[in-house]
Chains A and B, each alone.
Chain A
Amino acid sequence: MMRAEEIMTKDVVSISGSATIAEAVKLMKDKGLRALIVDRRSDSDPYGIVTETDIVYKVAAFGHDPKKMRVYEIMTKPCVVVNPDLGVEYVARLFANTRIRRAPVVKGELLGVISISDILNKSDFVEKPKSAFELYCEENPDALEARIYED
């Protein structure tokens, strides 16, 4: 099974929660990104994320001035984070259950960001679809249900 680490995007750009939305938009345009990770203030602070959806839904849709609003007003923090060893099928299931489209990949430190585009474009779910049962058997090869009978 492919893991989050193998398909995540490693160029991550972070921004301060006190930056203005206008600064965030400029950064996203310059780097061609759909989301930025919000800097942690300390090691015990959770990760946050601000996406283009947040900006369009909460700023552009109301005609608020992006130069006067700040990232912390619209960001999602704490946000769902993904372990780099998590299987891609489980990332897809997690995203579907929580209705999110991207999440930072974290283990000790920030390693990357994984999105539904990464799953669609880089994973092998078309060539090798795996059912929950197959995933279970792969993880527990000794389980009774996972026995393979040879004729």
Chain B
Amino acid sequence: MLKARDIMTTSVVTISGSATVAEAVKLMKDKGLRALVVDRRSDSDPYGIVSETDIVYKVAAFGHDPKKMRVYEIMTKPCVVVNPDLGIEYVARLFANTRIRRAPVIEGKLLGIISISDILNKGDFVEKPKQLYLEDRIEAAREDARSICAEKGATSPECAAAWDVVEELQALAADRRQAKEDTRDVSNSLKDYCAENPDALECRIYDD
């Protein structure tokens, strides 16, 4: 799986939160960038970001004077940051869930910035689409089965085979859920109790 660090843009430009919006616009035009990362004031300060969308939506749209407004008035801080080892499918999912289009890539320090354009232009999701979650694969298999059955007939062997795939995936999902429950703390406390008090009523095991 390609990772964020493989496709991120490493030339990042930062700006001070107290710079004017006019300075930010000039910097973005000069460097051909759509966003700037806002400098941290200290190591415990979160990262911020200011994008062309912020400038157009919050300054240009209201005719405010960019020479009189400051970056801190329109920036997003703290902003969502991405770990360089995150798979790009997860970056895409994160962006979709949070409705953002770019985020700084951070590990200890600022390494780069990753955007939906990077995913589109440098990602391999067209050549190698990856389903992240079993639930997604079940849904896809179910859709496949429906269309195959509609095409080949509900009693065709192709239709039966397609639903078998769905069933296998569902069984796998059930197994994983069970495995997760077995290792969960909640059930462990009961197990611990029963290990110490095997004769307690709660610990009886029924054999069929």
Contacts and interface: CB of A to CB of B under 8 A. Distances in A.
Contacts of B79: none
B91 to A, nearest CB: 9
A34 B117 contact: yes
Interface of B (DSSP majority class): helix
A1 to B, nearest CB: 10
A22 B55 contact: no
B55 A120 contact: yes
B89 A95 contact: no
Given A63-B132, A92-B60, A120 B125 contact: no
Nearest to A97: B61
Contacts of B88: 60
B18 interface: no
A95 B55 CA distance: 12
Interface of A (DSSP majority class): helix
Given A92-B61, A117-B34, A129-B63, A63 B53 contact: no
B148 to A, nearest CB: 13
Contacts, number: 115
Contacts of B111: none
Interface in B20-40: 22, 25-26, 28-29, 34
B130 A125 contact: no
Interface stretch (A9-17, A37-45, A49-57, A141-149): A49-57
B101 A131 contact: no
Interface residues on B, range: 35 or more
Interface stretch (A64-72, A76-84, A105-113): A64-72
Interface residues on A, range: 35 or more
Nearest to A132: B63
A123 B52 CA distance: 13
Interface of B: 22, 25-26, 28-29, 34, 52-53, 55-67, 88-89, 92-93, 95-97, 101, 116-117, 119-121, 123, 125-126, 129-132, 136, 140
